[in-house]
Amino acid sequence: MAEADMMNDPVGQKPVYWDPYDPGIFAEPYPVLKRLREEAPLYYNEKYDFYALSRYDDCIAVLGNRDDYISKHGGVIEVMKAEIEVPSGMFIYEDPPLHTAHRRFFTKVFTPKHVARLDSQIRDFCVKALDPLVGAKEIDFIEHLGAEMPMQVIGMLLGMPEEKLKEAQRNVDESMRTEPGQQNNSSGASLAGDYYADFVDYRIRNPGDDLITSLLNTPFEDDHGTTRTLTRAEVLSMVALIFGAGNETTNRLIGWTAKLLSERPDDRREVHANPAMIPEVLEEVLRYESPGMYIGRTTTRDVEFHGTTVPAGSVLLAIVSAANRDEAKFPNGEVFDIHRGRQPHLTFGYGFHNCLGNALARVEGRIAYEEVFKRFRDWEVDMSRAKMASTVTVRGWETLPAFL
């Protein structure tokens, strides 16, 4: 139970309360999410005026239906409420036919086969990050690995200059950072991708073998059936999306894996002895600690869940982190079990907007831990110095020092 909840309501007598901003709930969300699944499978939050679903089948029903639940108003509560005009190219917040046209651009770049070819480059980045730590007393899984390798990989794919990546990453972090308990009121500003203008303009003048160049030059059929290339503005939005997504998420996966295995020495030693288990362990980490807590949609008509009507035009959240522990889908869902095998968790979403980078994240995570286990069998996270990132959209560690 969240700390605040525990103090005010030790035996859970009050109606269940959840919002993604409450710092106590954010720190320890799962007891509240369990109560949501059990007591309020369709939950309405009066304070922020949103509806939320927490059971697996309900989340699937929303995410798999793009007619009744649309994305163009955004996927994060404050963006949806602010009625921000989402710029063209930010395709996670688009609907067909524009979404289909824009997303198709990336699919081929991020296929499992394509990202598998990046194996040696990803491994090189991991080796560079980890080799200096051999013989050291400590590692910070975020500073040394999580915040480094995925950034290098996405920078390389996009064709951004290596020496500018850290600054660009700080820009992403700043745009996502929120004060505890507050909404992120800058969410809209970063969507246009103005920050990336220099990189894109450089590739307009100096085409290369990279994603920014292909975005600029590849013809496609747009939503009006016209064959054209993307506008500079569309490219900027897409680069903002890809760089931001590529930085934030695998980083969190690397952090959660380190923490969960730190707390479970037997599991950790088993994986060390048998690194072929790594992909399945990572799937369990993804299920158990989803970096993204929820995915938002806007209803286009009145819909009914569990006997209650959600009116058209409502903000409706699919709480994928809750669905991932739904006992009806995952027996003993609240238990972290490295022997569970691959399960269809919703951490990468479901349906038309599912995470384009899912194959890349899996490959990055696997190689990162193959290289970690080549060097270290044991580590112990120092929770007294660990710090969670202060963002409402992605939940995970910003600092995660561990004794080696």
Q: For binding to another protein (CB under 8 A), which residues are involved?
A: 64, 104, 107-108, 110-113, 279, 283, 341-346, 348-352, 354-355, 358-359, 362
Per the listing, tokens 């995470």 go with 355
Per the listing, tokens 């009744």 go with 68
Minimum separation from the CB atom of position 295 to another protein (A): 13
Minimum separation from the CB atom of position 327 to another protein (A): 17
Minimum separation from the CB atom of position 359 to another protein (A): 6
Minimum separation from the CB atom of position 30 to another protein (A): 20
Q: Which is nearer to another protein, 25 or 323 (CB)?
A: 323
Minimum separation from the CB atom of position 64 to another protein (A): 5
Dihedral of the CA atoms 178, 129, 372, 134 (nearest 10)?
A: -120
Minimum separation from the CB atom of position 102 to another protein (A): 13
Q: Which is nearer to another protein, 197 or 359 (CB)?
A: 359
Q: Which is nearer to another protein, 65 or 399 (CB)?
A: 65
* Pairing mode of beta strands 315-318, 50-53: parallel
Which three-class secondary structure string do you get for the chain?
A: CCHHHHHHCCCCCCCCCCCCCCHHHHHCCHHHHHHHHHHCCEEEECCCCEEEECCHHHHHHHHCCCCCEECCCCCCHHHHHHCCCCCCCCHHHCCCCHHHHHHHHHHHHHCHHHHHCCHHHHHHHHHHHHHHHCCCCEEEHHHHHHCCHHHHHHHHHHCCCHHHHHHHHHHHHHHHECCCCCCCCCCCHHHHCHHHHHHHHHHHHCCCCCHHHHHHHCCEECCCCCEECCCHHHHHHHHHHHHHHHHHHHHHHHHHHHHHHHCCHHHHHHHHHCHHHHHHHHHHHHHHCCCECCEEEEECCCEEECCEEECCCCEEEECHHHHCCCCCCCCCCCCCCCCCCCCCCCCCCCHHHCCCCHHHHHHHHHHHHHHHHHHCCCCEECCCCCEECCECCECCEEECEEEC
The answer to whether 63 and 351 are in contact (CB under 8 A) is: yes
Q: Which is nearer to another protein, 112 or 132 (CB)?
A: 112
The answer to whether 24 and 4 are in contact (CB under 8 A) is: yes
Closest CA to 299 of 123, 44, 4: 44
Minimum separation from the CB atom of position 245 to another protein (A): 15
Q: Which is nearer to another protein, 34 or 345 (CB)?
A: 345
Q: Which is nearer to another protein, 151 or 320 (CB)?
A: 320
Q: Which is nearer to another protein, 230 or 363 (CB)?
A: 363
Q: Which is nearer to another protein, 190 or 324 (CB)?
A: 324
Q: Which is nearer to another protein, 99 or 144 (CB)?
A: 99
Minimum separation from the CB atom of position 108 to another protein (A): 8
Q: Which is nearer to another protein, 14 or 113 (CB)?
A: 113
Minimum separation from the CB atom of position 117 to another protein (A): 11
Q: Which is nearer to another protein, 306 or 339 (CB)?
A: 339
Minimum separation from the CB atom of position 325 to another protein (A): 15
CA dist 154 and 204 (Å) reads: 19
Minimum separation from the CB atom of position 354 to another protein (A): 4
